[in-house]
Chain A
Amino acid sequence: MNLKSILSGIAGLSLACSLAVATGAGSAEAASGYPLKKPREVDWSFAGPFGTWDKAQLQRGFKVYREICAACHSMDLVAFRTLDDLGYSDEQVQAIASEYDVTDGPNEEGEMFTRPGRPTDYFPSPYENDKAAAYANNGAVPPDFSLIAKARAPERGFPTFIFDVLTLYAENGPDYIYSLLTGYGEEPPESIEISDGTYYNPYFIAGPALAMAQPLYEGMVTYDDGSPETVDQYSKDVSAFLMWAAEPMLVERKQMGFNVMLFLLIFASLLYFTKKKVWSGLKD
């Protein structure tokens, strides 16, 4: 076996793999033809093999979540203690947690009681339960935000999804959220009927319109770091924050990945030359 055959083996392997993948990657929402428009791609700080969090952005995004989204959207799986990822000190995390009221108990008298949140608590839900959430929102429960950035992935289409393997595109979720949040306000085409109580948005994954009205407007959230207080900036920041909420280990994963891949590359080349040496000792 020579180098050529090894290379062709690897090429064949990757081809076979990408062909196989080709069949799987684009499965979601193939039937419906939604979203009407592909998500707009944002240049995220956490994209690519060396991606890292932009902590200032995460803090801004958290502020947007807290002041706007959290009115309706829960974030059940995220604990206050993990907010130190955003660059907050222990005291700051404690202060943030204590701003929330958490139901605890039962106490010695058997009563449930409310106390200020602690870092070990999870974000409390804005509604008592799903029934209450549905009742307050015309029957549609606002989705939980813990995993939303990974739970929405509009189809990439052929052949883009093959190139995605090489370009390491994995920001489908935050791109989608950003596009949805900035996608309101367009006039729907005449061919599309928008039912009452829904709002046209060509980036929505499951139809031409969704039950949520445009949530963000210019100047709604005050930024103290001088970032523009625009819908575009808010949307970017909150999308980045939601990506962190969905995959808090993302940066750790990529950093370990670099070490692992580097090790494997060096190990592979050592093995290649060892193999060559071993086989060269063979007389026909």
Chain B
Amino acid sequence: MSAGHSSYEPKSGVGKWLDERLPLPRLMYDSFVAYPVPRNLNSWYTFGGILAIMLVVQILTGVVLAMHYIASTASAFESVEKIMRDVNYGWLMRRLHANGASMFFVAVYIHMFRGMYYGSYKAPREVLWMLGVIIFLLMMATAFMGYVLPWGQMSFWGATVITGFFSAIPLIGESIQLWLLGGFAVDNATLNRFFSLHYLLPFMIAGVVILHVWALHVTGQTNPTGVEVKNMRKETVPFTPYATIKDAFALVCFFLLYGWFVFYLPDYLGHADNYIQADPLKTPAHIVPEWYFLPFYAILRAVTFDIGIPFTNIVLIDSKLGGVIAMFGSIAILFFLPWLDRSSVRSGNYRPLFKQFFWIFAFTCVMLGWLGSRPAEGIYTTLSQIFTFYYFAHFLIILPWLSYFEKPKPLPASIADAVLAKQDEGATSLKPAE
């Protein structure tokens, strides 16, 4: 949409001068003021803006923390405690940053599920979706490395477990692990490179976010009906003031939730063991990642069996490698989502069967998260396997099958029609009350 003509007219002389040389104000105006958004977007569409702000919050608090943090196994734990106790408002920066990571993931999961429900990944928005998956992957890497920095027990053992994945790769795995760690175990070299990368990755995220927003502004937003905008004048509103004020309201509501955790439950989302300094000689009773990784952790541990050629002893993929493949596969599969769901109808609102399977899938993800927090034994392993199977079945079996066999509800002719129908509905349902 924004690829069309620009309505920006510089008012001042300086504005005109700059516009002819570097039309940055024009770019900003076209992207964040005049950019047309469908007028029927609901609250679930505000999380993109919230995520952008959360990235800024994380970078700002992170830069301040890095001024006081010491990336060394001897001093890291203590330096974090100095931040908490002695640095002016250091406790606030650290709480904002640690809980900010959790809030970032709360928002990104809502954002992703919104995209899945409304079919936002479908043509012509495949690249937009895939850029989002890349951002998600970068976020995961950043969060994981950030969690190692305080050098608590869970930092150290989490890093040991996660970097151990790479040793599962046949032949070259051990060498890769050695190269990644900078030694034979998680140690000073590992901590230093993790700190370096933890500082670098957010800026890479910011770069991909720019591409993500660019791709969005080329195709324009979807909307709850899934019907493309047909009449710009009637069906869209300019980003400013309409979307900006709505996003601002949503952001402040989100900050209330954020503040709730930062000020009153700052350790709720963390792990008590991370208040014990890392000790390579003492394994915690139960190593668990942060809550936002738990579903993937459950998938990792669900593969408890070797895969080989039947009736022989030849093992092709041992359980460790199998688990790693399943875990990375559970994220990689998101890249293919636009081609797995072939239904021509975009929005889940008009897909009665898809809608049910969507919620079953969401439930599956929550259950996998719960199972990730349980020990890998007995009934938990069985349940993890069932839900892991369903996770993949959703993408590989259910979505392709639904694409052909589901009978969608009739689509509204346009966004305007859908909005009017909804207003009528609202009016009739109000009548008895009058």
Interface residues of A (CB under 8 A from B): 1, 5-6, 8-10, 13-14, 16-17, 19-32, 49, 77, 82, 143, 146-147, 150-153, 164-165, 168, 170, 172-173, 206, 246-249, 252-254, 256-258, 260-261, 264-265, 267-268, 271-272, 274-275, 278-279, 282, 284
Binds A, one of B122-130, B246-254, B311-319: B246-254
Q: Once the chains are docked, how many angstroms separate the CA of A177 from the CA of B237?
A: 58
Name 25 interchain pairs, CB-CB below 8 A, sorted by A.
A1-B41, A1-B43, A9-B42, A9-B44, A20-B291, A20-B369, A21-B269, A22-B369, A23-B370, A23-B372, A23-B373, A29-B286, A30-B374, A32-B285, A152-B272, A164-B265, A170-B267, A247-B84, A257-B263, A257-B264, A258-B263, A264-B255, A264-B259, A268-B249, A284-B423
Does B292 have its Cβ within 8 Å of any Cβ on chain A? yes
Contacts of A268 on B, CB cut-off 8 Å?
A: 249, 252-253, 256
Which residue of the partner chain A has the closest CB to B90? A249
Contacts of B84 on A, CB cut-off 8 Å?
A: 247, 249
Q: Are A256 and B275 in contact (CB under 8 A)?
A: no
Which residue of the partner chain B has the closest CB to A51? B264
Contacts of B109 on A, CB cut-off 8 Å?
A: 16, 20
Main SS at interface, chain B: helix
Which residue of the partner chain B has the closest CB to A164? B268
Q: Once the chains are docked, how many angstroms separate the CA of A8 from the CA of B366?
A: 20
Does B20 have its Cβ within 8 Å of any Cβ on chain A? no
Partner of A151, one of B242, B266, B273, B372: B273
A77-B85, A275-B249 known; A151 vs B276 contact (CB < 8 Å): yes
Q: Are B249 and A284 in contact (CB under 8 A)?
A: no
With A77-B81, A260-B259, A268-B253 given, name 19 new contacts (CB 8 A).
A8-B43, A23-B372, A29-B285, A31-B377, A49-B264, A82-B85, A152-B272, A170-B264, A170-B266, A170-B267, A170-B268, A246-B275, A247-B84, A249-B84, A253-B92, A268-B256, A275-B245, A279-B246, A282-B237
Q: Once the chains are docked, how many angstroms separate the CA of A146 from the CA of B254?
A: 33
Partner of B242, one of A14, A150, A258, A279: A279
CB B79 to nearest CB in A, in angstroms, measures 11
Q: Are A24 and B241 in contact (CB under 8 A)?
A: no
Contacts of A164 on B, CB cut-off 8 Å?
A: 265, 268
Q: Are B264 and A271 in contact (CB under 8 A)?
A: no
Q: Once the chains are docked, how many angstroms separate the CA of A31 from the CA of B248?
A: 44
Q: Are B252 and A22 in contact (CB under 8 A)?
A: no
Partner of A264, one of B256, B264, B286, B423: B256
Q: Are A31 and B272 in contact (CB under 8 A)?
A: no
Interface residues of B (CB under 8 A from A): 39, 41-44, 78, 81, 84-85, 91-92, 95, 105-106, 109-110, 234, 237, 241-242, 245-246, 248-250, 252-257, 259-260, 262-269, 271-273, 275-276, 285-286, 288, 290-292, 294-295, 366, 369-370, 372-375, 377, 416, 419-420, 423
Partner of A20, one of B91, B255, B292, B419: B292
Which residue of the partner chain A has the closest CB to B86? A79
CB A205 to nearest CB in B, in angstroms, measures 9
Contacts of B241 on A, CB cut-off 8 Å?
A: 278
A31-B285, A147-B275, A278-B241 known; A23 vs B256 contact (CB < 8 Å): no
Partner of A13, one of B110, B245, B285: B110
CB A137 to nearest CB in B, in angstroms, measures 15
Contacts of B288 on A, CB cut-off 8 Å?
A: 24, 27-28
Which residue of the partner chain B has the closest CB to A148? B275
A31-B286, A284-B420 known; A20 vs B106 contact (CB < 8 Å): yes
Contacts of B81 on A, CB cut-off 8 Å?
A: 77, 146-147
Partner of A257, one of B262, B290, B294: B262
Contacts of A23 on B, CB cut-off 8 Å?
A: 291, 294-295, 366, 369-370, 372-373
Q: Once the chains are docked, how many angstroms separate the CA of A130 from the CA of B81?
A: 20
A152-B272, A168-B265, A253-B91 known; A1 vs B42 contact (CB < 8 Å): yes
CB B313 to nearest CB in A, in angstroms, measures 32
Q: Are A278 and B242 in contact (CB under 8 A)?
A: yes
Contacts of A20 on B, CB cut-off 8 Å?
A: 105-106, 109, 291-292, 366, 369
CB A132 to nearest CB in B, in angstroms, measures 17
